[in-house]
Amino acid sequence: MGNEAKTYDAIIVGAGTSGSCVASALSAAGLRCLILEAGKRFARDTYPRAELDANSQLYWGGGIELNTDADIGFLRARVVGGGSIVNQALMDRFDDVALDSWRQRSGVPFFTGEAMAPWYDKAESELCLQYIPTEYRNRNAQIFAEGFAANGYVCAPLRRAQRDCRFQDGNDCIVCLSGCPIDSKQSMPVTVLRRALEAGAELRAETEVLQVAEVDGGVTVTARSAGNGEETYRAGALVLAGGAIGTSSLLLRSGFAARLPLLGRNFYSHPQYMHLAVYDDPVDAHKGPMQSLKSADPNFRRYGFKLENVYAPPVAIAMLLPGFGHAHLERMRRLRQFACIEVSVRDQNPGQVRVDGRGQTVLEKQLDGEDRARRDRGFAAVRNIFLATGAREIVEGSFGISLHLMGGCNMGTDPGTSVVSPEFKLHGCKRIYATDGSIFPDAPGINPALTIMALSWRAGEQIVKDLRA
Amino acid sequence: MTTSRWLSAGQLRGLRKVGDIVMPGNDEFPSFSQSGAIAHVDRMLDYVKDSDRDGLRLVFGLFRVLPGPAVRSILALSERHRWLPGPLGAAARQINLGVKGVVFTLYYSDVGSGRSIHELIGYDAKVIAPAVPSGEV
């Protein structure tokens, strides 16, 4: 084990959305930052292109991690840029429904639209945000819109972080689920993280943090690198930005459970269920913009679910279809005829991130009766949409997929009911901060990326103030 | 002859056997073993968690010695996971997801030899990238 101690003003664990924003804020203030990231660092011409390699190299667990019941799969990015590399860059502000719930649950006064507005402004100013032009909507989106209209539902365009997808060239956004080859998608490595590195932040990829501790006058971080074995780093502050599962499990492995009894609890994930429908003619849901519309129906919001037009590459579609053998192959032959709509559940039954005796992360997460009711109301709406638009067969998704990983270190004013203070510090710690989706008090039912950015910018300002005090 | 850092020759035979049940092929589509995709199994197993890899080795080793109809029956039973109680259902799902995950990932990633699987199913997603390599970050 290397013993050379290196000192920074701050060490940031995770080079995803949150870590990039905090690093940018601290570096711009002249602070020396080290960012440690377990995943690899790719560029637009080096992202893995085969679905096999993308799943293996861009996610923890070789592609997917399962809950203890094996009925929900968690997609957790493991790559420089984090979720911003593998998501569809959907950027929405939270509404009053989400923020009111957070404020009531946490007691944190700045969870209001007005107080969050400057931080949303800041987050949005770092990205190019666009809506998909109507003329480029693919047939899957048209079915979505037609089905909504036929049923009297309300839908709306999705806002994406993208600069120039060049749809006129026939580009297909589904490719960018494993990293955008033309840097149109406004991922962290081409936006915020790039500016952090230009301002002097240091990035170490393929370096997994094993243990963290608060010591007199600072923090220590023990990490294992691909080539250098274990090393210990020192800093004046530690910022945990490894995502809900990463941050929670790292703190659990580092022995913080005794002082933070709620650590790992209140874990949410917006379980998503993809439904396929077979049409007579090709839909080609994989062509052009993969996602361009979402539900905006106040009843859906009230009932606790939302819908999006979505699709996935062949391996993922094969996994969603039931059965095997000739019957399965016959369905895959009709891949071009599938339309797809996703039900995303605003889950209200929290799960728990645990660490077992061998240090392995364990994810306990189930839907309760209310969650299942929300999911089933979503199913019913999808059925209505497909049946109104001429679907020949509907294949209902039975396997939950979770990409919005939130909670585990929920923010609140009361140490008895939360893990992180409104100043983004772990309760009882002076120098350890958490800034990522782990601090969410509950599931908002809205894509979390923009809010993670907004909160991280706010946290960055707080940390700069603290370090200069 | 396919070799693997993670699977023994017997475990590879078990994977090939169950692969041809999951993906038997027809006049148009190659079977799993005909596709040649099994040669790329380490590209995924290199990144799988130790515990998951151990589970797959166990299952493929078992499938190697079981007759084909028995393997098919286990797979068929695993498809009925929703009707199995508690831990039995979870175990059935893990077997189902694990086996189909390996077979479908190899087959539909289109990494094998011979005719393109993506071409056969009509999947032609692309992004036209500039010729100039990126220099960012």
pLDDT tens for each residue of B32-85: 999 999 999 999 999 999 999 999 999 999 999 999 999 999 999 999 988 888
pLDDT tier at A99 (50, 70, 90 boundaries)?
A: very high
Residue A335's nearest CA partner among B128, B5, B29, B24 is B29
Q: Which chain A residues touch B130 with a CB distance below 8 Å?
A: 182
pLDDT tier at B133 (50, 70, 90 boundaries)?
A: low
Q: Quote the pLDDT of residue A7.
A: 84
Q: Please answer yes or no on whether A189 and B123 come within 8 Å at the CB atom.
A: no
Q: How far apart are CA B97 and CA B48, in angstroms?
A: 14
- In order of A283, A289, A307, A309, A339, the CA distances from A147 in angstroms are 14, 19, 12, 11, 12
Predicted confidence (pLDDT) per residue in A56-96, tens digit = 999 999 999 999 999 999 999 999 999 999 999 999 999 99
Taking residues A180-209, report their average pLDDT. Answer: 97
Which residues face A215 on adjacent strands?
A218
Taking residues B8-20, report their average pLDDT. Answer: 98
- In order of A95, A107, A354, the CA distances from A365 in angstroms are 26, 25, 11
Predicted confidence (pLDDT) per residue in A341-389, tens digit = 999 999 999 999 999 999 999 999 999 999 999 999 999 999 999 999 9
Q: Nearest 5°: phi and psi at A54?
A: -65, -50
Return mean pLDDT, chain A. 96
Using CB atoms, pick whichever of B107, B130, B136 lies closest to residue A194.
B136
Predicted confidence (pLDDT) per residue in B102-131, tens digit = 999 999 999 999 899 999 999 999 999 877
pTM: 0.96
Q: How far apart are CA A22 and CA A15, in angstroms?
A: 10
Q: Indicate if the alpha-carbon torsion angle B18, B19, B22, B27 is positive or negative.
A: negative
- In order of A68, B24, B53, B77, B93, the CA distances from B74 in angstroms are 21, 16, 19, 5, 11
Using CB atoms, pick whichever of A315, A323, A329 lies closest to residue B79.
A323
* Contact yes or no for B79/A324 (Cβ under 8 A): yes
* Distance (Å) from the alpha carbon of B46 to chain A's nearest alpha carbon: 8
Query: Which chain B residue lies closest to A70 (C-alpha atoms)?
Result: B90
3-state percent breakdown (helix, strand, coil) of chain B, nearest 5: 65, 0, 35
Q: Which chain A residues touch B45 with a CB distance below 8 Å?
A: 62
